[in-house]
Structure 1
Amino acid sequence: MTIKFGFYGRVSTEDNQDPQASRAWQLHRARALIESRGGEIVAEFFDIDKSRSIPWQLRPHAAALIEELKDPLRGFDAVVIGEPQRAFYGNQYSLTFPLFEHFGVPLWVPEVGGPIDPANEAHDMIMGVFGGLSKGERNRIKIRVRAAMAAITATEGRFLGGRPPYGYLLQDAGPHPNPGKAADGRRLRRLVADPVTSRVVRWIYSEFLKGRGYLDLAEDLTRQGILSPSASDPGRNKHRDQRAWSRYAVRVILTNPRYTGHQVWNKQRKDEVLLDVENVALGTTTKQRWNTKDQWIWSEHPVHDAIVSVEEYQRVQEILATRARGQYSQRPRPTRRPYALRGVLFCGYCERRMQGNWNNQQAYYRCRFPNQYAILNDLHHPKAVYLREAKILDEVDGWLATAFGPDARERTIAAMTEQAIAPNETVLLDLRQQLPKCDRKRSQHRSTLDAGGDPIEIFSWINETKNERARLEEELKTVPAVQPTSVAEIRSMIEEIGDLVRLIGEADSGDKAELYMRLGLKLTYYPEKQYLEARIEPEPLRRRSVCFRAKLHKLNA
């Protein structure tokens, strides 16, 4: 008799591991255990780029496996794990195995030679030891890596990776000192001052020392037509507003010590914090936090081009310290406000997410674009846009129930079919948005030339921008056409959406936020017209660029 198995594995790419190779050897170990007993793997659950410290409930495929355990009609009889140290960390085994035992699903691991016996103390001890070894291995690796990076920073000042700060470019610095990595073609890189943006950084420091503020500098830079850091590197900053300089972008430049020519490391750290202090059994998650300045590691000597002097940087930090009001704390709030529309409500003026704001024991949402970004001539935006959650929540839920309920399902499918967009429309839109940015760069270069810059160097920049624009135009011509999503695919997605909509009506604010995100709900609020535009882009649809949008009734003033 063939025993049907579900397979679970996990790999973290933090250490440059190959997910395919890791999955292959974990599957090989699992099959070696079960095939001699007539076993066959019929379902796979494999988490990629998820740390072992993350609880099973927060790993997508591990959570899906737990949900399958609850289904009596699941397609497998048992679960096999090829490498317990990859699957369980710390006390995760003792928190997870009772679920397998409760639903009557045997868990097989190579270390015990077959299924784990709940009544066998030796099995329980072995699995507990592997969880401790997994935690110890991760901690040892973390300690070694941090010690090595601190030493490399202090003694060599080597560039340790990541994107270069605004004002710098990356330059080849020769082969990697590790012979094995050098043989594979790995090379070191170093920071060099960018001829254009480094001047902007010097100007920001100079003007700030004259007494100007963040927003004043941001508005001046925007008026001059100088691209913001996000707009200078749009490929890696799609999540940020690229139309204007923000006050926070100016602040980041003024507080970055690497402009002094020194390499600086350990400005941030990763801490493991409890998911719920009232329920320790839920486990921990990793959060990134700021270190105090006395914990930063500075290189002993300057190792790359200095854009500002150490003295200028220190004077700026002294000014910032005197301007600070009170003591700023990086500690999170002890409790979290229940914002049902968290992350799904956008401002119709600037298209940015509106922020939750608790006022008079009620949830509000606000957008303060002019308070954070420079004001653009072509963007009219009030000082603050406010919207009360209770004003729209019932109407949003009512629209969802109507549009995706059984009675309106066929009408909704027809509407989504008409609006279905081929996948490559997104690629075309992105390419078309980059063309005006090339034109703005050329205008910026001409302004630099008029200001007395080196003609030979500036003409080389102009030619590079021309070549970039020509490359984008060629890519626009070569983007292939792809068929839009079929009616059958849309029908399947609508059925999934209908299941979520039924849950929303019974959920509290905290659960609604998660359901709205899973549903792919996007709301855009237009204050002047007093109406709300609703758009559904669920995860399967987002990859196919299919959506369904509707304008809700005009809101009451």
Structure 2
Amino acid sequence: MASVASTDGRDGLEQWVEAKRRPADRIGVSSTPTGLRFAFYGRTSTVRHQDRTTSQGRQREAAELLIDGWGTIVGSFFDTGCSRRVPWRARKQAAQLLDLVASGGVDAIVVGEYERAFSGTQFQSMYGWFTRHGVRVWLLPETDGPVDVGDPDHRALLSLLGAQSQREVLRARHRVLAAMHNQAAHQGRYLGGRPPYGYRLVDAGRHPNPDQARWGRRLQHLAPDPVTAPHVAWMFAERLAGRSRSRIARNLNARGVPCPSQVDPGRNRHRAGGVWTLRTVAVILANPRYTGRQVWGRRPAGSDSAHGPAVSRDIAHPALVSEEDFLAAQQIRSARAAKDGAIRSYALAGLVRCGVCARRMDSHWVHDRPGYRCRHGHSSACQPTTERPKTIYLREDHLIDRIAAHFGDPDDLDGRGHARARVVAAELRATGSIVVCDSGGVIVVSERDVSPDSEREPKTNASLK
């Protein structure tokens, strides 16, 4: 049997259910409608974890409950995937609502949920604009009607709501970041995102959260991609052999090796081009996840984040390079070829600091041997001044002799010449030390105690005068 429709458009069953409700439960705040034209505004921050239809319906229902008997909603505006911190003019739907207000198309705005619409002091800053256009804002359940900033209770309530909305964001962010930090460091969990080049995602078993598991969600972890993993291992081997990143990129392009955007275009829609670049190679060689450790938080989620990077205590997935080789690859500094085609090597590059101006000394090749100099900021593009300190120049072999004597008996160091220089440089990096030079001598100091803005007399470990 077909349902019987009522005169107001509702079917018989809906009308019967409404009639069975107690009088106190029925919607109604006024029996004398004034016919105000309302614009409804709502918002949801995400589209992946929230259903727009459900969220919009819930907020719209709350708004209709508030204005029942006072008027009708003539325009509905609902932003999705937009943070509450974004100003209204920068929100697509909110901006359209403001244009409607400016044109006189509505008499009032009704908001289904304050925390969805405003953040911090946004409401106070916009209230004057609404008032100038003759529009009042209605809130439920905070004011149960139009907001009146002339009312001390309303002013206090709005201040509390603004602080509460901000607190909600900060607390939610802190809880999420703390949980993700723990999952990465103590559980080695894969926390989403694009898998690094050389890896693919495989099933890691049942989700530990019972509710998530009942919905069918499962964990994932990284596993070597049989096609691309050998290329990553080759890149690290080439880097350890002293090859430059640009040379590695040229070799990959020459051999026709697919770059990350070609291998996984679905996850790399933001990348254009289908060739290897120096930047792509550099990012791969600097990714610690190739050691088998799960790493999270290398790029902080915000300046107010209290959580640093998390590195899993145990191996979380198969490694493509050992930790020793990965750390060694980070210390490689490829030398450029000179005009005559020769490769000039500076073992102490980046480890020698000027004791006069605190600048890093330039690598400088003179009389067929490496050295280091500092011109204290002077260049050939400007005229020298009488106040500029005299240029400092030191030969690398003289520096090596002094530093080697500081670390122990020079005879204990393996090799001579370049091999000996590499051993000394490795010892400096291992101990976190640098060499500070001036006209008075040479000292070895902790790198933590020296910065361009520090005093000219750093804390020293030893003097090598």
TM range (shorter): 0.5 to 0.7
Matches within 5 A, 1:219-234: 219-234=250-265
**1:68 lines up with 2:100 in the alignment:** yes
CA contact (8 A) 1:176 1:186 kept: yes
The corresponding residue for 1:260 is: 291
Change (3 A) 1:124 1:272: farther
Aligned-pair distance for 1:225? 0.9
The corresponding residue for 1:345 is: none
Change (3 A) 1:3 1:173: same
Whole-Å Cα distance in 1 between the matches of residues 188 and 147 of structure 2?
50
The corresponding residue for 1:317 is: 330
Among the aligned pairs, what percent are the same residue? Answer: 41
Whole-Å Cα distance in 1 between the matches of residues 349 and 75 of structure 2?
59
**1:43 lines up with 2:75 in the alignment:** yes
The corresponding residue for 1:301 is: 314
Whole-Å Cα distance in 2 between the matches of residues 29 and 82 of structure 1?
5
Of residues 10-19 and 156-165 in structure 1, the stretch that sits farther from structure 2 once superposed is 10-19
CA contact (8 A) 1:101 1:118 kept: no
CA contact (8 A) 2:242 2:332 kept: no
For structure 1, the residue ranges without an aligned partner over 5 or more in a row are: 274-288, 328-557
Deviations 1:517-545 (A, max 9, x none): xxxxxxxxxxxxxxxxxxxxxxxxxxxxx
The corresponding residue for 1:249 is: 280
Aligned-pair distance for 1:150? 1.0
User: Highest CA radius of gyration, 1 or 2?
Assistant: 2
Match of 2:126 among 82, 86, 96: 96
Aligned-pair distance for 1:237? 2.1
Letter in structure 1 aligned against 2:86: I
Aligned-pair distance for 1:35? 1.8
Deviations 1:345-364 (A, max 9, x none): xxxxxxxxxxxxxxxxxxxx
Whole-Å Cα distance in 2 between the matches of residues 318 and 50 of structure 1?
42
The corresponding residue for 1:16 is: 49
**1:186 lines up with 2:199 in the alignment:** no
Letter in structure 2 aligned against 1:243: G
Matches within 5 A, 1:390-539: none
SS at match of 1:295: coil
> 1 or 2 for the larger relative contact order (CA 8 Å, sep ≥6)?
1
Matches within 5 A, 1:356-395: none
Aligned-pair distance for 1:295? 3.0
For structure 2, the residue ranges without an aligned partner over 5 or more in a row are: 1-33, 335-347, 354-465
Letter in structure 1 aligned against 2:132: H
CA contact (8 A) 1:93 1:128 kept: no
Letter in structure 2 aligned against 1:10: R
Aligned-pair distance for 1:223? 1.0
Letter in structure 2 aligned against 1:77: D
Match of 1:157 among 163, 176, 188: 188
CA contact (8 A) 1:10 1:50 kept: yes
Letter in structure 2 aligned against 1:197: T
Matches within 5 A, 1:252-291: 252-271=283-302
Aligned-pair distance for 1:14? 7.4
Whole-Å Cα distance in 2 between the matches of residues 20 and 315 of structure 1?
54
Aligned-pair distance for 1:47? 1.1
Alignment RMSD (CA, Å): 2.4
Aligned-pair distance for 1:272? 6.7
SS at match of 2:41: strand
CA contact (8 A) 1:79 1:108 kept: yes
Higher helix share: 1
Whole-Å Cα distance in 1 between the matches of residues 311 and 267 of structure 2?
27
Aligned-pair distance for 1:46? 1.1
Aligned-pair distance for 1:326? 12
The corresponding residue for 1:84 is: 114
Where do 4+ consecutive residues of structure 1 move more than 3 Å?
Answer: 320-327
The corresponding residue for 2:37 is: 4
CA contact (8 A) 2:201 2:221 kept: yes
Aligned-pair distance for 1:268? 1.4
TM-score where L is the length of structure 1: 0.52
CA contact (8 A) 2:183 2:189 kept: yes
Aligned-pair distance for 1:95? 1.1
Change (3 A) 1:323 1:317: farther
Change (3 A) 1:102 1:320: farther
Change (3 A) 1:26 1:309: same
CA contact (8 A) 1:172 1:189 kept: yes
Between the two proteins, the alignment pairs up a number of residues equal to: 306
TM-score where L is the length of structure 2: 0.62
Whole-Å Cα distance in 2 between the matches of residues 320 and 182 of structure 1?
48
CA contact (8 A) 2:291 2:326 kept: yes
CA contact (8 A) 1:88 1:130 kept: no
SS at match of 2:159: helix
Deviations 1:195-241 (A, max 9, x none): 11010000111101111112211111011111100111112323322
Whole-Å Cα distance in 1 between the matches of residues 195 and 352 of structure 2?
32
Whole-Å Cα distance in 2 between the matches of residues 43 and 216 of structure 1?
60
Change (3 A) 1:239 1:311: same
Whole-Å Cα distance in 2 between the matches of residues 272 and 105 of structure 1?
38
The corresponding residue for 1:26 is: 59
